[in-house]
Each structure stands twice: as C-alpha cells, then as structure tokens.
C-alpha cells in the first residue's frame, strides 16, 4: 500500500500536462489577438477607438497564459520534482499556490474592469461592477495578507 501511495504523486502529472497545454493555447490565443490588433492599427492608421480595448485584451490573455504556466510548473515542483526556474515562478506549498492564484485573479479582474471602463455603455452598471471588483479584490488581497503562515 505504501508503494502505491508514494507513486500516486504522479497523478499530479495529469494536472501539470493539462495546465501546460492550456498555457500553450493561451499564449497562442494572445499571439493571434496581437496579430489582429496590429492589423487593426495598420489598417486604421491608429485611429480606431477599439485599439485601446484590444491592447488591454492582449495583456489580459497573456496574464492568463502566464498564470497557467506558473500553475503547471508549481504543481510539478510541489508533487513531482524540483525545477531550476526563477523563484517568482514557483510555489513551494499549496498556500503559496493559492496566493499566486488570488493575485492573478485580482490582476485579471482589474484588466476586465479597465476594458469595461474604456467602453462605458451603462454608468450605473459600471459602478456596480467596479464596487464588486473592488470588494472581491480586497477579499483576495486580505486572504493573501492575513492567511500567511509564519
């Protein structure tokens, strides 16, 4: 039984591989968005108002791709073996991994709110989204700050 339980750590490879494929797909998605935005800039000679929103969406897609990559390598390091990567890319325990997830969620929510802000159609709805974003961000930041283990 001990042998089986010790080898079960390799089940984490399913998550590692799935997250790595998702990261590759997200980087490809961001690259395609970048090509489309560059095309829009060139064809409109930089005058299209959608360019700003498109640029923010590019940042958002690469943030998501980077988060997926960080989670993939961190899961590998946590469950399988050590990796020779920069410290900022790795989480050394599940708490750090959850904190990194919280930070990435706050960043993505901020980018999504900025997208809404740049394309305001309903000011009252925008205010509600802003309040909800601020509350959720505050909660996630508090989780990271107050949940630290000494």
Taking only the tens place, the pLDDT of each residue in 18-47 is 999 999 999 999 999 999 999 999 999 888
Query: Among 23, 110, 36, which Cα is nearest to 74's?
Result: 23
Q: What is the pLDDT of residue 20?
A: 96
Q: What is the pLDDT of residue 31?
A: 97
Q: What is the pLDDT of residue 120?
A: 77
pLDDT tier at 16, thresholds 50, 70, 90: very high
Taking only the tens place, the pLDDT of each residue in 81-121 is 888 888 888 888 888 888 888 888 888 888 888 878 877 78
CA distance 28 to 32: 6
Q: What is the pLDDT of residue 149?
A: 60
- Would you kindly state where each structural domain of the chain is located, as residue ranges? 2-146
CA 143, chain centre distance (Å): 17
Mean pLDDT calculated for residue range 39-58? 87
Q: What is the pLDDT of residue 15?
A: 92
Question: What's the whole-model pTM score?
Answer: 0.77
CA distance 51 to 120: 15
What tokens does 37 get? 């935005």
Name the helix (H) or strand (E) containing 41.
Answer: helix 12-44
pLDDT at 150 over 70: no
DSSP string, 84-116: ---GGG--SSHHHHHHHHHHHHHHHHHHHHHHH
């Amino acid at each position: 039984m001990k042998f089986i339980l010790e080898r079960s750590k390799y089940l984490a490879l399913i998550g590692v591989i799935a997250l790595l494929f998702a990261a590759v797909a997200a980087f490809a998605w961001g690259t395609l968005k970048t090509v489309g935005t560059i095309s829009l800039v060139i064809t409109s000679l930089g005058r299209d108002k959608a360019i700003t929103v498109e640029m923010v969406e590019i940042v958002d897609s690469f943030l998501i791709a980077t988060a997926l990559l960080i989670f993939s390598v961190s899961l590998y390091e946590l469950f399988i073996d050590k990796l020779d990567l920069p410290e900022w890319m790795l989480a050394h325990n599940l708490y750090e991994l959850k904190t990194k997830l919280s930070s990435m969620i706050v960043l993505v929510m901020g980018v999504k709110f900025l997208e809404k802000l740049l394309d305001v159609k309903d000011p009252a709805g925008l205010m509600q989204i802003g309040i909800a974003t601020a509350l959720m961000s505050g909660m996630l930041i508090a989780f990271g700050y107050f949940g630290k283990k000494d």
